[in-house]
């Protein structure tokens, strides 16, 4: 306690030195607290999907320029499904939006067109009703739709009789087959949010439609308009899947040079796709502010060293009065801890 009281007296005795030391440490610690808080929120936040470590994004890579393209064609999708063994399942989706006609009003709401297996890949379970079945994407299947939990609560009062109701969407009557779980946001917005590499609107989608591909869109290899997400089989590493789709891309480039000569496939973890450039930028920023904290600590050490030189006479007097070196070291350590 005597050492603590003495340290406080030293603070009051040299207010200028105290102010410089406190502000220097506050700058370093404050910057690190903010940046590491951001890093935790961005890099380690859960994405909200079960088994998210096995979710991957499949995209095209230009073998000549190194640029990437998020959209695949239906033929690309079929080739990946039929020629690879790393994926438990692969799904396509697109985001055209939807026009909802109701109560003499017309609204434009966000919507997804998805292959029926997307819900299985994301491990999405309906809050009410059912998810899509493979038969729902057949050309002769009945027109159905899944609605978001938020739309169900705000527009239908959360009533269970919404299942079976008919909605007028994009000038077509569709029957509500199920309600998506609350808080489901897909696609996820990238960080930073400056572009997603596609025109897909991120966040809660009011409607999910089953994707039914007909005619030229199913045949043409260069009709690249869909985004692909896959789930790896248990025990399969991302590197294994990357090597497999890369080999497939090289084979297709030889078999179909007109449409695939400049393109190959690559796999990106779902987290890396969502984080975007922040995956590299945030750790670099964290390292930079850690260096700032180190510089602040070095500056404080220099200040204490300079102050220690001016206190040589004081320390000599204390030694002469009987204080041991250990006693002086303990007192100086208390002052350092107080800083």
Q: Are residues 37 and 56 in the same domain?
A: no
Burial class (CB in 10 A: 0-12, 13-18, 19+), 207: buried
* Coil, strand or helix at 220: coil
Residues 114-127 have pLDDT tens digits of 999 999 999 999 99
For residue 40, what are the domain limits? Answer: 2-44+281-338
Q: pTM value?
A: 0.72
Q: Are residues 9 and 138 in the same domain?
A: no
Q: Are residues 210 and 296 in the same domain?
A: no
Residues 31-51, mean pLDDT to the nearest whole number: 78
Residues 5-36 have pLDDT tens digits of 877 777 777 788 788 888 888 888 888 888 88
Compute the distance between CA of residue 307 and CA of residue 139 in angstroms, rounded to an integer.
84
Residues 55-59, mean pLDDT to the nearest whole number: 93
Binned at pLDDT 50, 70 and 90, residue 276 comes out as low
Q: Are residues 91 and 229 in the same domain?
A: yes
Q: Are residues 208 and 92 in the same domain?
A: yes
337 vs 232, which has greater pLDDT? 232
Say yes or no to pLDDT of 89 above 70. Answer: yes
User: What per-residue confidence (pLDDT) applies to 41?
Assistant: 66
Q: Are residues 181 and 304 in the same domain?
A: no
Say yes or no to pLDDT of 204 above 80. Answer: yes
Q: Are residues 253 and 140 in the same domain?
A: yes
Q: Are residues 96 and 192 in the same domain?
A: yes
How many structural domains compose the chain? 2
Q: Are residues 91 and 8 in the same domain?
A: no
Q: Are residues 15 and 69 in the same domain?
A: no
User: What per-residue confidence (pLDDT) applies to 217?
Assistant: 57
| Of the candidates 258, 244, 223, 239, the residue with the CA atom closest to the CA atom of residue 82 | 244
Residues 144-190 have pLDDT tens digits of 999 999 999 999 999 999 999 999 999 999 999 999 999 898 887 65
- Among 275, 292, 322, the domain boundary falls at 275
User: What per-residue confidence (pLDDT) applies to 119?
Assistant: 94
DSSP string, 180-207: PPTT---SPPPSS-S--SSSPPPS--SE
299 vs 208, which has greater pLDDT? 208
- Among 237, 259, 275, the domain boundary falls at 275
- DSSP H or E segment with residue 149: helix 149-155
- Among 247, 275, 303, the domain boundary falls at 275
């Amino acid at each position: 306690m005597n050492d603590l009281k003495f340290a406080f007296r030293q603070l009051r005795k040299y207010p200028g030195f105290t102010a410089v030391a406190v502000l220097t440490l506050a700058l370093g610690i404050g910057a690190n607290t903010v940046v590491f808080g951001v890093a935790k929120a961005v890099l380690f936040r859960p994405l909200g999907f079960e088994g998210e470590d096995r979710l991957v994004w499949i995209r095209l890579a230009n073998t000549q320029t190194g640029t990437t393209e998020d959209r695949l064609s239906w033929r690309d999708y079929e080739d990946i499904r039929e020629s690879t063994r790393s994926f438990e399942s692969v799904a396509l989706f697109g985001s055209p939006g939807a026009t909802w006609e109701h109560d003499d009003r017309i609204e434009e709401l966000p919507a997804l067109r998805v292959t029926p297996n997307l819900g299985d890949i994301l491990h999405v379970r309906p809050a009410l009703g059912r998810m899509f079945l493979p038969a729902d994407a057949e050309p002769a299947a009945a027109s159905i739709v899944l609605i978001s939990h938020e739309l169900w609560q705000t527009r239908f009062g959360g009533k269970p009789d919404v299942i079976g109701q008919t909605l007028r969407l994009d000038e077509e009557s569709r029957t509500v087959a199920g309600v998506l779980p609350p808080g489901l946001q897909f696609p996820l917005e990238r960080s930073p949010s400056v572009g997603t590499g596609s025109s897909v609107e991120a966040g809660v989608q009011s409607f999910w439609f089953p994707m039914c591909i007909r005619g030229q869109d199913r045949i043409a290899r260069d009709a690249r308009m869909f985004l692909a997400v896959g789930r790896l089989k248990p025990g399969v590493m991302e590197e294994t899947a990357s090597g497999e789709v890369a080999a497939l891309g090289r084979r297709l480039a030889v078999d179909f040079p007109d449409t695939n000569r400049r393109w190959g496939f690559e796999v990106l973890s779902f987290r890396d796709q969502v984080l975007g450039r922040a995956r590299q930028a945030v750790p670099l920023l964290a390292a930079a502010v850690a260096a700032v904290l180190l510089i602040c600590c070095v500056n404080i050490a220099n200040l204490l060293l300079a102050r220690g030189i001016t206190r040589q006479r004081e320390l000599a007097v204390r030694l002469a009065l009987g204080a041991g070196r250990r006693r002086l070291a303990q007192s100086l350590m208390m002052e350092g801890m107080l800083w």
